[in-house]
């Protein structure tokens, strides 16, 4: 099993290119199931998660042309051989569940295993299923599978989400593109990835208005056609590297960055004393530290445009070396402070009380062996390791490979002392 070894204390300098967004790419890949024509996605991130979904799509009969290391992926779902997504594959990644809606909309039936993924709370799929039922689907959940049928096709519906859910918004939008009549999604999520998915679907012939707002209206069409679409840049990756620079010190320019999608983080970083210069036209964000201690900043995670839950762990690592005490409140997922005990192994002073973490900054973290528990937790340990004195070893980094493309290569290029090792290397 691979680990990362990090010697901290090295300031970072140079440029880091930002890859395509994992959270967008996965839903865009599922969109290929809505049409018999090829869908080509560019700026695709090469990640464990996107490769997992590629394998699942091939199991269903999708022709996938995506050479290893290539950023262009061609998907052709003209002739599916199955509408059953098995547990063995769906359990690996929660986003695999999103094949249900497109197959149900196009074929009138689908059987998909209930999903797996990170252990950061229950994250039930109830809202997804309620949306499909509102569109006229008959659903049966048994033996860990969702069996869905809409023999006469899905029908447009008024769907009011009881709380904001990115996954349910995206999934309902995918299915509604081929439903008969008008579907209105109220209290919809407003994340940039939803607008990216809508842009792709519109280029395929869908009729969607309001994506990026809390009300999305979809007029169903009889069929969709193929398209070429560029995956948006990953705001979570960009935010992660911004905090890595803030923690380790230095001056780095993030290129191909989703400048308009990081306002909440940029605001928090500036309050902490980090220089942030964003250029939307150039697609760059400059991160520079001043040499002065960071200031403690409170954050509350919230749906977009609030502070992203997927950047909470990284921000906690940063606040571990800030002057003063910060309070971090997690309002999206329960059980998402599993990184706190591991950060404490490096000397961080963190007290967790329910959905609140009180972080009292220390002058220096010290390297130690730590273990990743989920995707974002794993990269928070990398950030802490970059700021710490001595050597930090981060194990179980298969979590990291799910969402960060060439992380050690990108960090090494700007001066970090970081390398990947395996058990074989240690032997």
Could you list the residues known to form a binding site for UDP-N-acetyl-alpha-D-glucosamine, using ranges.
Answer: 94, 123-127, 310, 332
* Known binding-site positions for phosphoenolpyruvate: 22-23
Say which residues have a Cβ less than 8 Å from residue 148's Cβ, sequence separation at least 6: 100, 104, 109, 110, 111, 112, 132, 137, 138, 139, 140
| Cα→Cα distances 272→289, 313, 348, 376, Å | 10, 16, 18, 21
Using CB atoms within 10 Å of the CB of residue 11, give its burial: 0 to 12 exposed, 13 to 18 middle, 19+ buried.
middle
- Encode 107-127: b = buried (16+ Cβ within 10 Å), e = exposed: ebbbbbbbbebbebeebebeb
Q: Rounded to the nearest 5°, which phi and psi values hold at 342? A: -70, -40
Angle at 93 between CA 190 and CA 138, to 5 degrees: 75
Q: Map residue 163 onto helix, strand or coil.
A: coil
- Give one DSSP letter per residue of 246-295, joined into a string: HHH-EEEEEES--GGG-HHHHHHHHHTT-EEEEETTTTEEEEE--SSPPB
Structure tokens at 237: 């990756």
Structure tokens at 337: 């402070």
| Annotation says 118 is catalytic | yes
* Known binding-site positions: 22-23, 94, 123-127, 310, 332
Given strand 250-255, what is the order of strands in its sheet? 12-17, 250-255, 284-288, 275-279
Residues 324 and 361: their CA atoms lie apart, in Å, by 6
Candidate list 32, 73, 118, 200, residue with the active-site label: 118
Residues 298 and 378: their CA atoms lie apart, in Å, by 22
Active-site positions read 118
């Amino acid at each position: 099993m691979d680990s990362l070894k990090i010697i901290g204390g090295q300031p970072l300098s140079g440029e880091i290119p930002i890859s395509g967004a994992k959270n967008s790419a996965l839903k865009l890949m599922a969109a290929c199931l809505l049409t018999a024509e090829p869908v080509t996605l560019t700026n695709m991130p090469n990640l464990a998660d996107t490769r997992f979904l590629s394998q699942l799509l091939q199991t269903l009969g999708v022709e996938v042309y995506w050479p290893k290391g290539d950023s262009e992926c061609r998907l052709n779902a003209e002739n599916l051989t199955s509408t059953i997504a098995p547990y063995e594959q769906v359990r690996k990644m929660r986003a695999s569940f999103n094949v249900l809606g497109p197959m149900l909309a196009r074929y009138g039936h689908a059987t998909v295993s209930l999903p797996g993924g990170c252990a950061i709370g229950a994250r039930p799929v109830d809202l997804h299923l309620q949306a499909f039922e509102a569109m006229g689907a008959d659903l049966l959940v048994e033996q860990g599978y969702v069996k869905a049928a809409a023999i006469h096709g899905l029908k447009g519906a008024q769907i009011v989400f009881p709380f904001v859910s990115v996954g349910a918004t995206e999934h309902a939008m995918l299915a509604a593109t081929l439903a008969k009549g008008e579907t209105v999604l109220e209290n919809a999520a407003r994340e940039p990835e939803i607008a990216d998915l809508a842009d792709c679907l519109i280029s395929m012939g869908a009729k969607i208005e309001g994506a990026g707002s809390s009300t999305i209206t979809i007029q169903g069409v009889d069929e969709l056609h193929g398209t070429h679409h560029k995956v948006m840049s990953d705001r979570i990756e960009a935010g992660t590297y911004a905090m890595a620079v803030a923690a380790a010190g230095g001056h780095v320019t993030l290129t191909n960055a989703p400048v308009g999608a990081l306002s909440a983080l940029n605001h928090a970083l500036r309050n902490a004393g980090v220089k942030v210069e964003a250029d939307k036209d150039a697609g760059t964000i400059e991160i520079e530290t001043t040499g002065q201690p960071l200031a403690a900043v409170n954050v509350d995670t919230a749906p977009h445009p609030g502070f992203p839950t997927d950047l909470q762990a990284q921000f906690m690592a940063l606040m571990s070396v800030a002057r003063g005490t910060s309070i971090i409140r997690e309002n999206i997922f329960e059980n998402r402070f599993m990184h706190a005990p591991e950060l404490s192994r490096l000397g961080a002073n963190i007290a967790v009380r329910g959905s609140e973490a009180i972080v009292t900054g220390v002058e220096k973290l010290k390297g130690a062996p730590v273990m990743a528990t989920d995707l974002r937790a794993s990269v928070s340990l990398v950030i802490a390791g970059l700021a710490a004195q001595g050597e930090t070893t981060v194990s179980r980094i298969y979590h990291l490979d799910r969402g960060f493309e060439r992380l050690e290569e990108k960090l090494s290029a700007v001066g970090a002392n970081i390398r990947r090792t395996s058990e074989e290397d240690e032997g």
